[in-house]
Amino acid sequence: MNQGRIVRVSGPLVVAEGMENARMFDVVRVSNYKLIGEIIELRRDRASIQVYENTGGLGVGEPVQSTGEPLSVELGPGLIGSFYDGIQRPLDAIKAIAGDTITRGIEVPGLNREKKWHFVPKVKVGDKVTGGDVIGEVQETTLVMHRIMVPPGMEGEIAEVNEGDYTVEEIVAKIKTADGVKDMDMIQRWPVREPRPVKRNLAPQTPMFTGQRVIDALFPVGKGGTACVPGPFGSGKTVIQHQLAKWADAEIIVYVGCGERGNEMTDVLREFPELLDPKSGEPLMKRTVLIANTSNMPVAAREASVYTGITIAEYFRDMGYSVAVMADSTSRWAEAMREISGRLEEMPGEEGYPAYLGTRIAEFYERAGRAICLGGDDREGALTVVGAVSPSGGDLSDPVVQATLRVVKVFWSLEDKLAYARHFPAISWLNSYSLYTDDLEDYYREDLGDQWIEMRDQAMEILQEEADLEEIVRLVGVDALSPDNRLLMETAKAIKEDFLHQNAFHEVDTYTSSGKQFKILELIMLLHDRSKESLGAGKPIEDLVALDVKEEIARAKYIPEDSLDRFEEIKKSIVDQTEV
């Protein structure tokens, strides 16, 4: 054990001397309060430590002790349904010990030590196993089967394995390895800054379907992909995160709340447990892990919470699940980096952010991916990361937004202009993009057919042309447009209002299957094409603008999923009413 002494305290940063035997990123206990910190700079015997707890009242000369271990998380049964702080302390356990305010230096293990889990072996004595092999299963919640895996790097033969009820620390199996027999309990410890290994990375090939039309149809994210959603206040960021948590085609959700305002976090803590998983009717928390760095934790904990979240997500990916991580907001994490870097007196980059801002952000998103997991059965897992960014004033030239856009492949641009106009989700169809569109094309052709690709591209073109025409309309009025252009404006309006606009709080509208998305867009494009023909045959634009069937198209999104045959009647009306 290496013991040093504090020589300086600067907010969340503590400098200690006499640390010559410590290593970079070692976890240290600071002062007699034993506050948890991490070494982030080491020059000879002088260590700079970011402290994850309030450093108020610490003084020069107090002891600092290195644990010799990097910042790690505990992985095993009991993660699901937990609320953790940035360094994986369960908030309810802390509350039980310390009341409402986190008392400093409290040590609570990430996984409950008393609870018994029923372990069912999946291997037998004599089986050869390597890292990633599933040796048994635990039904962790009604929605999640937790696979107990051989830790990466271990290899051997099963010497003993028994079904039964165990705590996470009890021995469920013994493995004969080259260095002797190893006892296996149900906890893996993993350093958070180190990505967990996979056998092979794969490119995303299927979309992470969300049931949100603007996302699925125009800007899909691949399973195992990355997306970013910059959200000015009131633009619907929270609603989108909730919709994704509820509806995204992912088996496990890890939500990292990295907020500065305490009440933002309290909202998450209050609202999430009330959300129901629409597919099973069970509470969403039965497949969710929440990590929230509360307002009374200093900025350094924001960084820890991001790493803790992604590591837990990787662990479930390793089991062969599709996992979605939502980090809200990565801007708060970047601000923490800026503050710490400033106190370290590093050379600042753009707007005072450290020069390594881009690298750190990239390393985080690069932990997303679709992969063949470790282990003999070649199961596939996926980790999708959606990061919210909150640039001040919604300014997209902000360094955090720019650094994020360099790595993520999907950009959902929330615009306050749309939010003011109550157009939700306020995702701009002009500024957003998805770089997965090509990778996912085969999937869509298979799932929805070539017509889907054509309609989607046509809809996108119409929206872009409309944006150009709008300028003209502003100058000379809509009546000055040619009939063709007026039709285009009408269709664009229908795409926006009848397709892209989606009410998260409407029982039916909150989620739209891919089949129904196809059918709604099909109505709009059918009317467009038929109207164009009628115009050519001499029907006046005024008549086409006023067709009764438009009302039916507008209401099509409220048709329940089990009554999709009603779309056929609307199609018939379109054909009838556009007859010349």
The footprint of ligand ADP (CB under 6 A) covers 231, 233-239, 424-425, 502-505
Nearest to 403, CA basis, from 364, 347, 458: 364
**Residues 478, 480, 483, 489: is their CA dihedral positive or negative?**
negative
Q: Are 387 and 228 in contact (CB under 8 A)?
A: yes
Q: Which is nearer to ligand ADP, 268 or 299 (CB)?
A: 268
User: Tell me, what DSSP letter sits at residue 242?
Assistant: H
Q: For ligand ADP, which is the closer residue by CB, 236 or 381?
A: 236
Structure tokens at 131: 């890292």
Count Cβ atoms within 10 A of the Cβ of residue 347 and give its class: 0-12 exposed, 13-18 middle, 19 or more buried.
exposed
**Closest CA relative to residue 202, chosen from 322, 91, 82:** 322
Q: How far is the CB of 495 from ligand ADP (least distance, A)?
A: 17
Q: Write phi, then psi, for 503 (nearest 5 degrees).
A: -90, 110
| Residues 511, 433: Cα–Cα separation, whole Å | 21
Min dist CB 390 to ligand ADP, Å, is 8
Nearest to 306 by CA among 236, 257, 343: 257
Q: Where are the beta strands (DSSP E) in 396-549?
A: 410-411, 433-434
Neighbour-count burial of 562, counting CB atoms closer than 10 A to its CB (0-12 exposed, 13-18 middle, 19+ buried): exposed
**Distance (Å, whole) CA 563 – CA 560:** 5
Supply the minimum distance, in Å, between the C-beta of residue 231 and ligand ADP. 4
- Compare residues 166 and 499 and give the one whose CB is closer to ligand ADP: 499
The answer to whether 338 and 195 are in contact (CB under 8 A) is: no
Residue 387's H or E segment, with its range, is strand 380-389
Mapped onto helix, strand or coil, the DSSP state of residue 106 is coil
How many Å separate Cα 29 from the centre of its chain?
31
239 vs 453, beta carbon nearer ligand ADP = 239
- In this structure, the number of other CB atoms found within 10 A of the CB of residue 255 comes to 23
Q: How far is the CB of 496 from ligand ADP (least distance, A)?
A: 14
Q: Report residue 428 as tokens.
A: 């701009």
Return the SS3 of 163: coil
SS3 assignment, position 341:
helix
Of 388 and 463, which has the nearer Cβ to ligand ADP? 388
CB of 509 to ligand ADP, least distance (A): 8
Min dist. Cβ of residue 82 to ligand ADP (A): 24
The least CB distance from residue 241 to ligand ADP, in Å, is: 8
Quote the least distance from Cβ 553 to ligand ADP, whole Å. Answer: 20
By beta-carbon proximity to ligand ADP, the closer residue of 77 and 236 is 236
Of residues 281 and 505, the one with the C-beta less far from ligand ADP: 505
Distance of closest approach, residue 555 Cβ to ligand ADP, in angstroms: 17
Is the Cβ of residue 481 or residue 504 nearer to ligand ADP in the bound state? Answer: 504
Q: 441-448 and 450-476 are packed helices; what angle lies between their axes, rounded to 10 degrees?
A: 100
CB of 212 to ligand ADP, least distance (A): 8
* Identity of the residue numbered 376: G
Name the residue nearer to ligand ADP (CB basis): 123 or 414. Answer: 414
Closest Cα to residue 383, out of 326, 317, 475?
A: 317
**Which residue, 424 or 567, has its beta carbon nearer to ligand ADP?**
424
Measured from the CB atom, the residue of 79 and 389 that comes closer to ligand ADP is 389
CB 240, min distance to ligand ADP, A: 7
